[in-house]
Amino acid sequence: MPIRIYGNRSIKTLPGQTTRPTPARVREALFNIWQGRIVDARWLDLCAGSGAMGAEALCRGASSAVGIEQSSAACRIIRQNWQTVAQPEQSFVILKGDVVAQLKRLQGQQFNLAYFDPPYASGLYQPALEALVALLSPTAEVAIEHDPALWQATAPKGLAIVRQKRYGSTHLVFMAPEQG
């Protein structure tokens, strides 16, 4: 079933509940919060699912997007979606595999904005956030989608919680590099 993103563009999703797309109102709220930061941003999409968040970032002017996703079928959908929306001057890469292992492969790169939406009960929050710290520019911000019944937002060393938002049953916690 397709979903609509910025500019009334339609992108593909996987059938069934294999991935859990971020609700439209949460996507809109996040991009309103980050609206002044998207243009020319280096976007990182962790547990990317359909790639809707990265597609939205590309549509809104991010210079590049990197998506990490475990599922081969989801990686194919993300590639199709990002090819559809990316402009010639934008770049994107989709990495298949374990999010923590793939983050380690990205060492040396810097991202301005990151979105992390793992399966809520996966246990990926802390290890992925710890691996992510080294990849964030000093002014970066990461938004983490979660269920507070399954994960209590805890910032790893090097990150600080800067705000928390709730949209119905969807919770977002925003973290940024600690300024030392």
Calculate the CA 47 to chain-centre distance: 7
Calculate the CA 79 to chain-centre distance: 15
| Chain mean pLDDT for the chain | 90
Residues in the chain: 180
Question: Model-level pTM greater than 0.85?
Answer: yes
Q: Which residues pair with 161 in a beta bridge?
A: 175
Give the tokens for residue 129: 């956030």
Q: Is the pLDDT of residue 114 over 90?
A: yes
Calculate the CA 143 to chain-centre distance: 7
Confidence at residue 18, expressed as pLDDT on a 0 to 100 scale: 55
Q: Which of 60, 78, 63, 82 is nearest to 7 (CA)?
A: 60
Confidence at residue 20, expressed as pLDDT on a 0 to 100 scale: 60
Domains of the chain, each with CATH number or no CATH: 3-177 (3.40.50.150)
Give the tokens for residue 111: 């991202």
Confidence at residue 24, expressed as pLDDT on a 0 to 100 scale: 79
Q: Which residues pair with 166 in a beta bridge?
A: 171
Q: Are 42 and 140 in contact (CB under 8 A)?
A: no
Confidence at residue 22, expressed as pLDDT on a 0 to 100 scale: 75
Question: Where is pLDDT greater, at 92 or 11?
Answer: 92
